[in-house]
A and B are shown apart, each in its own frame.
Chain A
Amino acid sequence: MRKEGEVRISSGCAISGIFCRDGKRITGEAIKKSIAVMHNRSNGLGGGFAAYGIYPQYKDYFALHIFYDSQTSREESERFLAKRFDIINLSKIPVRQTPMISDAPLIWRYFITPLPHLLQDSQLDEDEYTSRATIMINDSIDGAYVVSCGKDMGVFKAVGYPEDVADFYRIEEYEGYSWTAHGRYPTNTPGWWAGSHPFSLLDLTVVHNGEISSYDANRRAVEMYGYSCNLLTDTEVITYILDYLTRKQGLTLKESSEVIAAPFWTTIAIKDEEERIRLSYLRKMFSSFLITGPFSILVGFRGGMMALNDRLKLRSLVAAEKGNVVYFSSEEAAIRVIEDNPDRIWAPRGGEAVIATLNGEAGL
């Protein structure tokens, strides 16, 4: 059977997120409890977590989580990294053996920073330098896959139910101010760890529920700008589109949400003139990035989290607030299980982004 990336596999899912606006770092217990409530939205073929604020002692370095199929691919990757980066620290990511998770690859973590003279010669900023290096590892080193490469954050994912993945990675031992989780229900069984979610690029992580119908139009558009969609998953293409719109086009996340989940023309028509012009512009200018079909996504980024539904709201999404903590989930129960008395609980409208950021920080 062909792996993810050689064939496009659709999947349904559960998502959940917790964000502490005051920057308070909480353990992975809560997010595990939340996603576990939605056990039957997954089928044991993929689960994962993204956490921000978990590496405060290394927060100025890029944290790489890498899967290796073999020691050879590890050695090759480490040689590759050593040539381009200063490796501050490297270690195996500690895991807990559990019968529920099998066929684990070698899982390593590195804290690195670009070699200054090479960075200067490359005429790139350190984000672009690092993201290009990780894409090169994924593309060219057989058996190596960079799972995440942002600063003070990391992605933990595997083939299995999300709660088992949490146990495997001992996520209760990590403390972060922002957590997202994903339980996957693919329609096919590739059993490839890298194919699980969250998907990430630098600090950007995406968990996603649904299957988009605009996939190939979006993929072919974003590939024009130097991205290569190797996994053929919706999550991957959504991540790249958001990176392109925010980092390369300078749009805010809210504006980006108005591109990918653009209001219908009939809806734009009843807005006031300034808004009408603005929304029309975004639709016309970035028409290749309109995403159709069902999706609900949680986007994690440095200092914030965004929740967004497709414009028809074809997937469920619930949001809640309690004090400084913001919750998102596919089902209300997954929020109630960790916060049974929220100050406010609501269902954001289709195409209406909800963005939470750290107090005192402007959003992207």
Chain B
Amino acid sequence: MRIIDNGNEEIRRPEDEEITVKRCLGERYVGCGMKNGTLHVEGIPGNALASYLDGGTVYVDGNAQDAAADTMNAGLLAIKGSAGDALAYGMRGGRVYVLGDAGYRAGVHMKAYEDKKSILVIGGRAGSFLGEYLAGGIIIVLGLGNEGRDITGYFCGNGMYAGTIYLRTEKQPLNLSDKLIKRNVDENEKENILCPIIKDFASVFSIPVERCLEGGFIAIEADKSKTYSQLYAAV
């Protein structure tokens, strides 16, 4: 094993190399801007983990703190524990998988652009303001082990104007904005859109996929008839 002084520099450089970071404890910017290769993180990485991630793969065996996957562009961030607040803010592409819970403001202003489509899957529950300002991409909350409970907090999807939030629940999210549409997901959509993503999610964490797909899903999308432009009057 090599001891590396300037860790992040080293992590960014390698091509298709596997690196393991051990005893991580609050160190910020781990895997920041990583283009390729695979990084295994043991312990608790600090804020801004995998920010600007650009194609590399980051596995975290513990919990992540705030602002993970910030402005991520491509690649995979898989967190076996839970994530803090502001997960995947402004993410444009790639996959973020969290097996546990996510804090407040997960997936705020996630986007899609040309061939890029950001995907965020949360195995447990999400805090308030999930997918606020959502501008594209897909957010899935599975609520594993929380069946029958609310799996999102307040103000889910507030102000979203594109993209879709899927929730594995029968329950209406708490105080859902009247500018959003909630619908039940049919078998066809489940099969074609959700299944491939959730299968991938399950295989990353080696958990049974059937459990993740059990029961019905609801989808939340912006009500296109209620645009914000109608609120303005030019002087």
Contacts and interface: CB of A to CB of B under 8 A. Distances in A.
B26 A331 contact: yes
Given A316-B65, A316-B85, A347-B127, A37 B153 contact: no
A331 B65 contact: yes
B128 interface: yes
Interface string B80-99: 00101100000000000000
Interface stretch (A146-154, A222-230, A332-340): A332-340
A38 B26 contact: yes
Contacts of A349: 104, 127-128, 153
A328 to B, nearest CB: 14
Interface residues of B, number: 22
A316 B47 CA distance: 11
A201 B82 CA distance: 37
A127 to B, nearest CB: 37
A37 B25 CA distance: 8
B63 A266 contact: no
A38 B65 CA distance: 12
A331 B103 contact: no
Nearest to B153: A349
B168 interface: no
A267 B175 contact: yes
B65 A333 contact: yes
Contact of A316 (B28, B66, B153): B66
B25 A333 contact: yes
A333 B84 contact: no
For the residues of B in contact with A, the DSSP-based class is: loop
A350 interface: yes
Interface string B173-186: 01100000000000
Nearest to A333: B26
B44 interface: yes
A313 interface: yes
Contacts of B104: 312-313, 347, 349-350
Nearest to B129: A312
A270 B176 CA distance: 12
Nearest to B175: A266
Contacts of A336: 25-26, 43-44
Given A267-B175, A331-B46, A313 B26 contact: no
B127 A316 contact: no
Nearest to A334: B26
Nearest to A264: B154
Contacts of A188: none
A333 B63 CA distance: 9
Contact of B63 (A264, A313, A345): A345
Given A266-B175, A331-B46, A37 B103 contact: no
A40 interface: yes
B153 A333 contact: no
Interface in A326-361: 331-334, 336-337, 345, 347, 349-350
Contacts of B47: 331
B84 A316 contact: yes
Contacts of A318: 84
A333 B45 CA distance: 8
Q: Which of B82, B103, B127 has the most CB of A within 10 A?
A: B103
A349 B154 CA distance: 10
A208 B159 CA distance: 30
Contact of A37 (B26, B129, B154, B174): B26
A270 B63 contact: no
A337 B62 CA distance: 14
Contacts of A264: 154
A37 B154 CA distance: 32
Contacts of B153: 349
Nearest to A263: B154
A312 B155 CA distance: 10
Interface of A: 37-38, 40, 264, 266-267, 270, 312-313, 316, 318, 331-334, 336-337, 345, 347, 349-350
Q: Which 8 pairs of residues, A with B, have the shortest CB-CB distance?
A: A333-B26, A313-B104, A333-B44, A37-B26, A333-B25, A266-B175, A316-B66, A336-B44
Given A313-B127, A316-B65, A350-B104, 20 more contacts: A264-B154, A266-B154, A266-B175, A267-B174, A312-B104, A312-B129, A313-B85, A313-B104, A318-B84, A331-B46, A333-B25, A333-B65, A336-B44, A337-B26, A345-B63, A347-B82, A347-B84, A347-B85, A347-B127, A349-B127
6 contacts: A38-B26, A267-B175, A316-B65, A331-B46, A337-B25, A350-B104
